């Protein structure tokens, strides 16, 4: 089984939508947390959305609340990120992440909580 493999990135105009998918079969049923992060050029990686198995809840960065939705596909073993009303500031490399043991509710959007990472998929939003 492969690790985490992202797909679905691309270029879109502001106001448009994209759906990212992360193939996560190796970690889908064992991870305590599954998440999406992003990194813009010259900036630190930031947590965008995460799913915490312990409480069955999803968490979002304030900057994407109401626009992005994280979901799990139990048939395909993927973690998807639906991104609507995209803004130029959403531009960046988007990464899928997973952790089995060291991720908790208070750290679901923190980079340090995740051990496994995908290679990323680029999202570019033009104004």
Q: Which residues pair with 116 in a beta bridge?
A: 98
List, for residues 59-98, the tens digit of each pLDDT value. Answer: 999 999 999 999 999 899 999 999 999 999 999 999 999 9
pLDDT value of residue 26: 84
pLDDT range class, residue 25, cuts 50, 70, 90: confident
């Amino acid at each position: 089984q492969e690790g985490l493999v992202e797909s679905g990135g691309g270029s879109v105009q502001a106001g448009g939508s994209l759906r990212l998918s992360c193939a996560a079969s190796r970690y889908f049923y064992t991870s305590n947390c599954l998440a999406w992060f992003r990194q813009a050029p010259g900036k630190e990686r930031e947590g965008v959305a995460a799913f915490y198995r312990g409480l069955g809840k999803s968490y979002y960065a304030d900057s994407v609340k109401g626009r992005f939705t994280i979901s799990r596909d139990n048939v395909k073993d993927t973690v998807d990120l639906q991104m609507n009303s995209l803004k130029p500031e959403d531009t960046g490399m988007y990464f899928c992440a997973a952790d089995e043991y060291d991720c908790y509710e208070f750290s679901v959007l923190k980079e340090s909580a995740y051990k496994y990472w995908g290679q990323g998929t680029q999202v570019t939003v033009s104004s």
